[in-house]
Amino acid sequence: MDAQAMPDAIRPKSAPPPDVQMAVTAWNLMGGIDWLALDAVAEMLGITDLETLITQLVTIRDANRDA
């Protein structure tokens, strides 16, 4: 669904920064933090800064735990 066609109540206020969107994509591809898949997924998405990616993935994991 196009964001413009969404009702105001559920329309995203803004898109996340590109690096955050890539971390979310990596999270979705791996189904969470999958240490065995991390290198392959990062390479597939063109992510070279693994330290930042891991920090973002841990943040996603922790946010899901707190929810």
Short-list 29, 36, 35, 24, CA closest to 63? 24
Residue 41 lies in a domain: yes
Going by pLDDT thresholds of 50, 70 and 90, the confidence category of residue 34 is very high
35 SS3 class: coil
Q: Is residue 51 part of a domain?
A: yes
Query: Cα separation of 35 and 38, whole Å?
Result: 5
Provide the residue range defining the domain that includes 45: 16-66
Q: Is position 37 within any domain?
A: yes
How many domains, the chain? 1
Q: Hey, what are 20's tokens?
A: 């955050």
11 within a domain of the structure (yes/no): no
**Residue type for position 31:** G
Which tens digit of pLDDT belongs to each residue from 4-26?
Answer: 677 878 777 788 889 999 999 99
pTM: 0.76
Whether 4 maps to a domain, the answer reads no
